[in-house]
């Protein structure tokens, strides 16, 4: 008798420790075969009722998604040669299944019949939108193509999926490969105590068992906590240059060179767009976005650019003046920016990273975050559930409503593990809310999220001490998780974060970041990990002031990325040089041009291995929404608990509850009473005077 496969034989939570790479292929073969058989039966029956069509459709789609979701999650957080190989071998089966499903003509015709039926207008808004989105997605999946073109479409989809995985693995490998080992104290001059401890722990992880913060050796890697720490604090300019050049050329040479993959991805995306009847891939991308067209996006980005340029130039002048005063005779170079920006911050605000971190221990930050969520949205978060996890540092939490009933759950994986976990921070789902996919004995399946960060782990006798940026990142990812978990929609296709237009999906995440800049909330968060003493008023005020610190430079950087992304996905890839395009746009926009050898595109996973192709602008688009949404709380009175909670419940009942069940502009209007105002973002970032209305 065969042992059950733990990747698919679970109901509420997977037994993560028992899942190995060997389980991936057989589990996916089984669920795809089962769902494919159900799809064939559905095609033969071709029901013309929503219950007869959408219920089996959701079940057979969900069966594949939840098992592949766990495999993908483990590929991201427990990466190994075996898991990588299993994932790569299985991915074509998944792509093939989704193409087969999306290109089912009988299902498409049944959906069209439902949409045209007299009953359509009597369906709930969630159901109407589900049908409309499935029709749209089938068209984008190539349902209307000739057999020959469909075959080519499917081949392109397979190759793009494979290239995306290769791109990710190359970035991971290139990040892991680099390590600068330092043995002399003058080489780590300027590094504060916590940075030295981090560097020593990195050295120990690489076999230097006796490494200490005081005596070394110390190791600097391209993993973000290590890279940022060194670039912000290391006095040795030559070593900063070494690390910086390694960072901007990650995955740009040798076996991990992503440039050929970039060229191929852009070429294939253009071909796919042409097959679907679009001029370029941006056209395909915008079918699933709020933004109506490329011109409207460029208008927003140029508005931000115009508002930010003078401030960004002033930022660079200020860095140059401080560098000269500090004895640097050369002009500011890219490897100087973070170092001198940190010195400006220390000089202007008196803030130093090592003085801030002790006031932001992870356990206290989590308590403050959970208290805020309870206060705003009337839910309670509880730890302590006995649920298997994939690593000892991972914790599972239950989310309960004000009556004490469980409504959702999430796993929190907070720390960097560069040897096996991909960089950055992200939220994903184990599964979403659904009545159709409810487990036996349950009326509805409750949503469960993953929240993944890459902050410094606990070191020696101290808990994980967070930078302020890591605090805002945690709040950001929780915004995504809240939209997933607090949905009240029961149709799985549009519950939570499912099928939300991509340029609106960052609204709740960026909304949550705003609370980190609210004095009352920040005061409650910032307490010393040893003494419990609150942070003094002066540094608290200074942290709040840093919100607009280098806002012009930061805004131009995002505009530059967004315009580069759009340029790559609107130009003809046969005549396009991706690197030259990125360089040209950066020189046009940024006060400090990039180095000629800069290859940041080769690690730009958002657009080549994530969901942001021709959609990186979404961050700025959603920042407008989030700034304006937070403005409603400001208008209501942030310091009035009753009014703040009323507004919180309104936000919960619209933005968080309705998810993908309505168009995001309709949901925003429900919450705010009007369409979003771009000036809200410019004011928030200090790029428009608060009293200036045009």
Catalytically active residues, by annotation: 477
Q: How far apart are CA 592 and CA 472, in angstroms?
A: 27
Please tell me whether residue 595 adopts helix, strand or coil conformation.
coil
Please tell me whether residue 406 adopts helix, strand or coil conformation.
strand
Please tell me whether residue 411 adopts helix, strand or coil conformation.
strand
Q: How far apart are CA 114 and CA 129, in angstroms?
A: 12
Q: How far apart are CA 550 and CA 234, in angstroms?
A: 20
Q: How far apart are CA 155 and CA 209, in angstroms?
A: 49
Bridge partners of 181, per DSSP, are 219
- Work out the burial of residue 8: count CB atoms within 10 Å of its CB; fewer than 13 is exposed, 13-18 middle, 19 or more buried: buried
Q: DSSP letters of 299-358?
A: HHHHHHHHHHHHHHHHHHHHHHHHHHHTT--SPP-HHHHHHHHHHHHHHHH---HHHHGG
Q: Is there a contact between 127 and 491 (Cβ–Cβ < 8 Å)?
A: yes
- Work out the burial of residue 119: count CB atoms within 10 Å of its CB; fewer than 13 is exposed, 13-18 middle, 19 or more buried: exposed
Q: Is there a contact between 64 and 90 (Cβ–Cβ < 8 Å)?
A: no
Token pair recorded at residue 17 = 């420790």
Is the bond into 217 cis (omega within 30 degrees of 0)?
yes
Q: Is there a contact between 4 and 27 (Cβ–Cβ < 8 Å)?
A: no
Q: How far apart are CA 130 and CA 475, in angstroms?
A: 30
CA distances, 95 to each of 100, 162, 187, 270 (Å)? 9, 10, 49, 19
Token pair recorded at residue 66 = 């939840």
Owner of token pair 């430079």: 553
The candidate with the shortest Cα–Cα distance to 480, out of 290, 663, 655, is 655
65: CB partners within 8 A, 6+ apart: 431
Q: Is there a contact between 418 and 460 (Cβ–Cβ < 8 Å)?
A: no
Q: DSSP letters of 437-448?
A: TPPTT-SSBPPE
152: CB partners within 8 A, 6+ apart: 271, 275
Q: How far apart are CA 442 and CA 489, in angstroms?
A: 16
Q: How far apart are CA 108 and CA 43, in angstroms?
A: 10
CA distances, 530 to each of 372, 415, 471 (Å)? 23, 21, 18
Please tell me whether residue 664 adopts helix, strand or coil conformation.
helix
User: Dihedral angle at the C-alpha atoms of 546, 551, 554, 560, nearest 10 degrees?
Assistant: 170
Q: Is there a contact between 227 and 220 (Cβ–Cβ < 8 Å)?
A: yes
Q: How far apart are CA 35 and CA 56, in angstroms?
A: 9
């Amino acid at each position: 008798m065969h042992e059950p496969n733990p990747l698919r034989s679970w109901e509420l939570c997977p037994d993560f420790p028992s899942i190995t790479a060997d389980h991936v292929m057989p589990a996916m073969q089984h669920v795809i075969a089962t769902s494919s058989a159900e799809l064939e039966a559905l095609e033969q029956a071709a029901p013309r009722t929503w219950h007869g069509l959408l219920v089996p459709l959701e079940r057979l789609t969900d069966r594949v998604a939840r098992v592949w979701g766990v495999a993908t999650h483990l590929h991201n957080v427990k990466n190994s040669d075996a898991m990588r190989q299993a994932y790569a071998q299985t991915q074509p089966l998944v792509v093939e299944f989704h193409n087969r499903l999306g290109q089912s003509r009988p299902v498409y015709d049944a959906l069209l019949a439902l949409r045209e039926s007299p009953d359509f207008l009597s369906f709930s808004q969630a159901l109407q939108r589900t049908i409309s989105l499935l029709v749209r997605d089938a068209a984008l999946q190539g349902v209307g193509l000739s057999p020959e073109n469909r075959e080519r479409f499917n081949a392109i989809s397979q190759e793009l999926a494979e290239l995306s995985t290769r791109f990710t693995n190359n970035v991971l490998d290139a990040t892991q490969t680099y390590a600068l080992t330092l043995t002399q104290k003058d080489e780590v001059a300027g590094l504060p105590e916590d940075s030295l401890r981090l560097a020593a722990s990195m050295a120990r992880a690489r076999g230097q068992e006796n490494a200490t913060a005081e005596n070394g050796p110390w190791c600097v890697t391209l993993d973000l906590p290590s890279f940022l720490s060194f670039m912000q604090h290391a006095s040795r300019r030559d070593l900063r240059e070494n690390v910086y050049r390694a960072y901007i050329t990650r995955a740009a040479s040798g076996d991990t060179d992503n440039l050929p993959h970039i060229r191929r991805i852009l070429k294939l995306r253009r071909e796919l767009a042409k097959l679907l009847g679009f001029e370029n891939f941006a056209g395909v991308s915008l079918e699933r976005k709020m933004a109506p067209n490329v011109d409207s996006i460029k208008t927003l980005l140029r508005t931000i650019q115009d508002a930010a340029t003078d401030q960004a130039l002033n930022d660079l002048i200020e860095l140059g003046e401080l560098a000269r005063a500090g004895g640097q005779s050369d002009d500011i170079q890219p490897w100087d920016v973070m170092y001198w920006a940190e010195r400006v911050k220390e000089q202007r605000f008196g803030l130093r990273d090592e003085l801030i971190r002790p006031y932001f221990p992870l356990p206290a930050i989590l308590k403050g975050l959970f208290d805020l969520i309870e206060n705003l949205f009337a839910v309670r978060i509880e730890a302590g559930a006995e649920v298997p996890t994939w690593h000892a540092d991972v914790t599972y939490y239950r989310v309960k409503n004000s009556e004490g009933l469980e409504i959702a759950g999430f796993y929190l994986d907070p720390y960097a593990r560069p040897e096996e976990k991909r960089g950055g921070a992200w939220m994903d789902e184990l599964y979403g809310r659904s009545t159709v996919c409810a487990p036996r004995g349950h009326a509805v399946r409750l949503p469960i999220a993953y929240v993944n960060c890459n902050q410094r782990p606990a070191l020696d006798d101290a808990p994980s001490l967070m930078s302020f940026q890591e605090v805002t990142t945690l709040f950001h990812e929780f915004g995504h998780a809240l939209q997933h978990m607090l949905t009240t929609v029961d149709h799985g296709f549009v519950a939570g974060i499912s099928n939300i237009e991509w340029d609106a999906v960052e609204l709740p995440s960026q909304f949550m970041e705003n609370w980190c800049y609210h004095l009352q909330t920040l005061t409650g968060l910032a307490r010393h990990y040893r003494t419990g003493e609150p942070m003094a008023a002066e540094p608290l005020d200074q942290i709040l002031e840093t919100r607009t610190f280098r806002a012009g430079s930061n805004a131009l950087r995002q505009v530059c990325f967004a315009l580069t992304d759009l340029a790559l996905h609107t130009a003809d890839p046969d005549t396009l040089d991706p690197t030259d395009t990125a360089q040209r746009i950066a020189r046009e926009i940024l006060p400090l041009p990039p180095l000629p050898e800069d290859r940041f595109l080769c690690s730009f996973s958002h657009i080549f291995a994530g969901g942001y192709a021709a959609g990186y602008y979404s961050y700025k688009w959603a920042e407008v929404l989030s700034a304006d949404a937070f403005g409603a709380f400001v208008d209501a009175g942030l310091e009035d608990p009753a009014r703040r909670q009323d507004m919180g419940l309104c936000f919960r009942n619209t933005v968080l509850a309705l998810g993908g069940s309505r168009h995001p502009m309709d949901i925003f209007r429900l919450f705010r009473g009007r369409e979003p105002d771009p000036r809200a973002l410019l004011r928030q970032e200090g790029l428009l005077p608060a009293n200036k209305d045009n």
